[in-house]
Chains A and B, each alone.
Chain A
Amino acid sequence: MPNRSPVPVVHFRSFANLDLQAELGLVRPPFSPLNAYRQLQYVQEYARDLGCKSVVIEQHYIDRDHIEDHSIFYSKSLLGYPNFCQRVHFFSLDENELQASFDQILCKDALSGESVYRNACREFSKKAYLGFSVIKPLHGSPVGRTVMKCCPEVPGDPSKAASFRRLFSCTRRYVSHLIGIELHVDGLAFQQQDIGVSACATTALWSALQSFRNHEELAPATPAQITTLAVRYSLPFGRAMPSEGLSLDQMCQAVQALGVSPNLFRVQDDAALAKSILFSAVRSGIAPILILTLRSNSRHAVTVAGIKVRAQATGAAVVARKADGEPEYNLDAWDLGDDLLGVYVHDDRYGPYLAAAVIQKGFAPSLSVQLRGEAVPDEWELTHILLPMHGKVRLSFSALRQIALEVALAAVACGKKIAAVVPQLKLEPRVQFDVKVLRAHKYVEELVVGANADSVDRARRLVKEVAMARYLAVIYLEGEFFDPIDVLIDTTNTSRNAYCLAVVARGKANPLTKAVMTYLCKQLNCAAIA
């Protein structure tokens, strides 16, 4: 006789004084660490910081990642692990307000038609939904797919607002459904390692690949799939599962096997390059995976969800160094990547959006992390950066930085020539630059959305006159003697055969802009969109 389908029990709870561990029925297994619920506590504290007032707990939730992990690994244990999870939703309204909002959407808005219903769900999510956390039936490592809202771009504290901004460009929109309400949250999925199907390397890849789905259609990869693909051709550390970690080589293999191209950089001796790559990658919407050396000398992987940047763009001069590392020559090209102050990382040992300052020790980049409850910041050396990119982007961020520097120096040369020809202008030939990779249609949208008539006209001319690659490298140039300029590079070529597609003006207030553009177009042999 067939069983009846499970009853979807949903509980509303006040967040104040909530013992989430007890509410979820979690009991620490005898041999698991005393702090087994550190990630759960972190998520709860993070929700408190966001202003959480109530939670809704779904007691029977089928999670794609868990059911796959269950099928591959946990179903074969003697202990009968359930194949379903619980899910906790966090809200900034108290229980009564929440019930009233749900009633309004379901009993009034929904009756007025689909568009009214969807708008109401969107508005409600924007106002009150803080995210969700899937709780797996693994009592020693319960935190599964967790998507929490990010902190606002502009800090609430005015003194902080004057100094920095937060950019969470690696996030995407997640949709969840709760008792008939469609909920939306912008974030990046986090989960803790279980040492069964995943260790830190797998979970870092899993988070980064979630972000990649912003750019291309890609079936979501589960931790079990990632580990399986990583160990397909090489098992240098023994068995694949329970997971004993992955090598960098295996991480690259997993990325490649999922149809994405792994771009790997060694940055342990070059903090300026590390900051530049992180700045460009995150602004391109690519979630970097950071390979770190911890104080214990063990290697760790975390995923970057966002960055903290200076509120006022300044950059820093690119410096040529002697063999011993001493500065030898300051170029007039200023890299805006130096405005990177910190990163927000998903660390599967702690939780999502952990704030870490990017610091420099000698020439080596490090992350300084102030952990909750710790008196002294922890420091982790950054040694490598792994970027999952589309295969058509043949120019790496390292190659793009070289091209961007060459283009910026061409603009500097232009400024120096103008200053020599008309010395009374007293021009400062310094040029700030930055590079990012965008889908071509996104760049066109950037020119059009919320822009003025001139910008729309440039977009029209660009799509009419220039055949564009699927992905464009956009080199941004800014100087005192011209309006901001974008130089568009075809990313489908190699650095030896790189081509410039167009030089696009982003303003026309400065009378020298036309001359600078003409000069650059001649140097780069491309179209001018003025």
Chain B
Amino acid sequence: MSSETSVGSKEISRLKTLDSATLEKIESALLNWESVDAAVRAPVEATLHDSDAAAERVMEAISASEQLSEVDLAIRINTRE
């Protein structure tokens, strides 16, 4: 996609009003996630755990596309008009 692809403009205008203290809080939390209150972290980590497990299954399915057998390679392509 090009850089011109539209992003949520409403979202941007809402986020533009973020004050510097909130931005600082976000940046600090992202860099030192372990220091964030455990009660805040726990639900996020639970969803990330589920998401990681699901992603693992998706990755396996993608990998299967490259596991070709001799049967695949022997396919004869010869359609005539």
10 A-B pairs with CB atoms under 8 Å apart are A200-B77, A266-B67, A336-B1, A409-B55, A418-B26, A420-B44, A432-B1, A507-B3, A511-B16, A519-B30
B33-81 contacts to A, CB under 8 A, are: 33, 36, 40-41, 43-44, 47-48, 50-55, 57-59, 61-68, 72-81
Segment of A150-158, A170-178, A313-321, A463-471 engaged in the interface with chain B? A313-321
**Complex Cα distance A402/B57, Å?**
11
Q: How far apart sit A299 and B74, CA to CA, in the bound complex (Å)?
A: 11
Q: How many residues of B contact A (CB 8 A)?
A: 55
Question: CB distance A291 to B43 under 8 Å?
Answer: no
Given A245-B77, A480-B8, A511-B16, 5 more A-B residue pairs with CB atoms under 8 Å apart are A199-B80, A299-B76, A320-B57, A417-B29, A509-B16
Asked whether B81 lies within 8 Å of A248 as measured between CB atoms, the reply is: no
* B-chain residues with CB within 8 Å of residue A425 when the two chains form the complex: 14-15, 18
Residue A479 is within 8 A (CB to CB) of chain B in the complex? yes
List A contacts of B65 (CB < 8 A): 265-267, 270, 273, 277, 398
State the CA gap A450–B11 with chains docked (Å): 26
A212 to B73, CA, bound (A): 23
The answer to whether the Cβ of A71 comes within 8 Å of any Cβ in the partner chain is no
- Cβ–Cβ contact B1 & A405, under 8 A: no
Q: Which residue of A lies closest to B11 (CB)?
A: A480
Q: Contacts A328-B54, A421-B36 hold; do A384 and B5 have CB atoms under 8 A apart?
A: no
**Which residues of B have CB within 8 Å of A244?**
78
A478 is an interface residue with CB less than 8 A from chain B = yes
A331 to B51, CA, bound (A): 6
Given contacts A265-B65, A313-B5, A329-B50, A511 and B18 within 8 Å (CB-CB): yes
Contact of A416 with B80 at beta-carbon distance under 8 Å, contacts A248-B73, A291-B75 already known: no
- Measured between beta carbons, the chain B residues less than 8 angstroms from A522 are 31
Q: Is residue A201 within 8 Å, beta carbon to beta carbon, of the partner chain?
A: yes
A residues near B26, Cβ cutoff 8 Å: 418, 421-422, 512, 515
Are A512 and B18 in contact (CB-based, < 8 A)? yes
Kindly state the separation between the CA atoms of A265 and B5 in the bound complex, as whole angstroms: 30
Q: DSSP majority for the B interface? A: helix
Nearest CB in chain B to that of A336: its residue: B1
Q: How far is the CB of B35 from chain A (nearest CB, A)?
A: 11
A349 pairs with B79, CB closer than 8 A: yes
For A414, the chain B residues whose CB sits under 8 A away are: 30
Q: Which of A277, A413, A421, A484 has the most CB of B within 10 A?
A: A421
Question: Which residues of chain A come closer than 8 Å to B5, judged between CB atoms?
Answer: 313, 478, 484
Is B51 a contact partner of A247 (Cβ separation < 8 A)? Answer: no
Q: Is the CB of B76 within 8 A of A245?
A: yes
Determine whether the beta carbon of A481 is less than 8 Å from that of B11: yes
Asked whether, in the complex, the Cβ of A515 is within 8 Å of the Cβ of B30, the reply is yes
Bound complex: CA A511 to CA B23 (Å): 8
How many Å from the CB of A520 to the closest CB on chain B?
Answer: 10
| Interchain nearest-CB distance for A255 vs B (Å) | 13
| A506 / chain B contacts, CB cutoff of 8 Å | 3
A: residues with CB less than 8 A from B are: 33, 35, 38, 192-193, 195, 199-201, 236-237, 244-249, 251-252, 264-267, 270, 273, 277, 291, 294, 296, 298-301, 312-313, 318-321, 328-329, 331-332, 336, 349, 383-384, 396, 398-399, 401-402, 405-406, 409, 412-414, 416-418, 420-422, 425, 428, 432, 434, 451, 455, 476, 478-481, 483-484, 506-507, 509-512, 514-515, 518-519, 522
Would you call B55 and A405 a contact (CB within 8 A)? yes
Cα(A69)–Cα(B66), bound, Å: 35
Minimum-distance CB pairs A-B, first 10: A245-B78, A320-B54, A329-B54, A300-B79, A506-B3, A480-B8, A249-B73, A480-B11, A201-B77, A421-B29
Q: How close is A509's CB to chain B, nearest CB, in angstroms?
A: 5
CA distance A248 to B76 in the complex (A): 7
Let me know if B51 and A237 touch, CB within 8 A: no
Q: A33-B81, A270-B65, A402-B59 are in contact. Are A518 and B31 (CB under 8 A)?
A: yes
Whether B80 pairs with A321 at a CB distance below 8 angstroms is no
Instruction: For B43, give its contact among A273, A321, A420, A518 (CB under 8 Å).
Output: A420
In the docked arrangement, what's the CA distance between A299 and B79, Å? 6
Of chain A, the residue at the smallest CB distance from B67 is: A266
Which chain B residue shows the least CB distance to A452? B3
The reply to whether B3 and A398 contact each other, CB–CB distance below 8 Å, is no
A266–B68 contact, CB under 8 A? Answer: yes
A266 to B58, alpha carbons, bound, how many Å? 16
Instruction: For the complex, give the distance between the alpha carbons of A102 and B43 in Å.
Output: 73
The complex places the Cα of A332 from the Cα of B80 at a distance, in Å, of 45
Contacts of B22 in A (CB 8 A): 422
Which residue of B has the minimal Cβ distance to A504? B3
CB-CB < 8 A to A349: which residues of B?
79-81
Most A-side CB within 10 Å, residue of B15, B58, B73: B58
List B contacts of A420 (CB < 8 A): 36, 40-41, 43-44
* Nearest CB in chain A: distance from B65 CB, A: 5
B7 touches A406 (CB 8 A): no
A474 to B34, CA, bound (A): 31
